Amino acid sequence: MIQSVSQSVSQSVSQSVSQSVSQSVKRSPLFSAVNRHFLCFAKAARKLFALSFVAFLLSSVLSSASFAGINDGLVGYWNFDGNANDSSGNGNNGIVNGATLTADRLGKANSAYQFDGQGSHIVVADSNSLHLSTSTSFSMWFKTDSSIDYSVYGSVHLLSKGATYGDLWADYAIQIPKAGQYGVENTGSKNVPASIKVSGLFTNGTWTHIAVIYQNSSVTVYENGVKIGEGTTTSIRSSTEPLYFGLRYNGSGAFKGAIDDIRIYNRSLSAAEVMQLATDQTGICDTTTPYNQGYSAGQTAAQAACKANPSSCGITVSSSGSGVTTSGHASYTPSSNLVHIPYLDAPTLFGGTPTVYE
């Protein structure tokens, strides 16, 4: 069975699916004032345990401008689903040097990168989109290795963008100076450095979400959606040096552990948006939940119409093919009967057409 979601959202639901087909859907929980929903349809096939799906994210934007879409302002998004490409559309693709694919926080294979602490890293060439200002946000997931040694370089780096001025300060960097502590560093346009250190609760071997929000002259650090510290800062200078993941720009500070879902914005995220990213589990869509499960009371008319008539959402269901494979930004885990779709605000934002062959 092929189930696909068109980027143009212009397709319709086939009316010739067998009466033996039963479909199911699960609404992913979203911690946002913007109602966004995945629709997942599964077909019970005649085989021992075959399933297929079609998924579509219906996006509705509130009239209030106080809460932008979670992907608005993205200058780089590296979800590491099989590679280090940038899914924001800005072309900031990474080059992998020694890092290896590993499972992400949701258990999906080959969807995060493991760094060995010996210099493995991912490098992204400089671009104008990575020249940031004082309205900037960083978001990522990380898991430090149980044997990480913070004393090797004094601190390890999650990300760092270098400088061309021959000094020891990065344009911007997020580091871990020691267990349970974060360091945030940046250098201003007049080479004036600024840095803060904030205590966190993370432990080695556990996936943790960190967000760093620059807004005017302040910088705020969040761990797992909770504000844990803030400080004053300067503007962020721009250099032509590359951006590094898992390493400091000068080759020191090698990180040992896993990193996933790195986001960089050219705007300041709100506390609610940070919480949304920290608690997001929408990468997993369970295909066993009944299709007629209701939405929340706040569903829009468009969402209600989509539930009643999937063709209004541009969803196509057709039957052909064999085996279970995927394309675009989706994958299928046979052992758990789960369809994994990375978090999206709109189906056309990152491109690709998720497809499963049954």
Give the model's pLDDT for residue 185.
81
Q: How many CA atoms lie within 13 A of 44 on its CB side?
A: 11
Give pLDDT, residue 59: 33
Residue 205, token pair as written in the block = 């071997």
- What pLDDT is stored for residue 267 in this prediction? 96
Residue with tokens 């064999």: 322
pTM: predicted TM-score of the whole model, two decimal places: 0.62
Compute φ and ψ for 305, nearest 5 degrees: -65, -35
Instruction: Give residue 104's pLDDT.
Output: 94
Q: Where are the domains of the chain?
A: 1-67+284-358, 74-266
Low-confidence ranges of the chain (pLDDT < 70): 1-68, 152-154, 163-168, 188-193, 281-358
CATH code, 74-266? 2.60.120.200
Classified as helix, coil or strand, 130 is helix
| Separation in Å, CA 346 to CA 53, 65, 69, 308 | 18, 18, 9, 20
pLDDT digits (tens, 9 = 90+) for 212-229: 999 988 999 999 999 999
CA angle at residue 31 from 58 to 314, to 5 degrees? 5
C-alpha 195: how far from chain center: 26
pLDDT at residue 196, rounded to an integer:
82
Tokens 């000094």, located at residue: 167
The CA-to-CA distance between both ends of the chain, in Å, stands at 5
For position 89, what pLDDT does the model report? 92
Return the C-alpha torsion angle 112, 117, 122, 128, nearest 10. 110
Upper half-sphere CA count for residue 86 (Cβ side, 13 Å):
23
Q: SS3 of 195, please?
A: strand
Q: What is the pLDDT of residue 165?
A: 52
CA atoms within 13 A on the CB side of 237: 20
Q: DSSP state, 313?
A: G
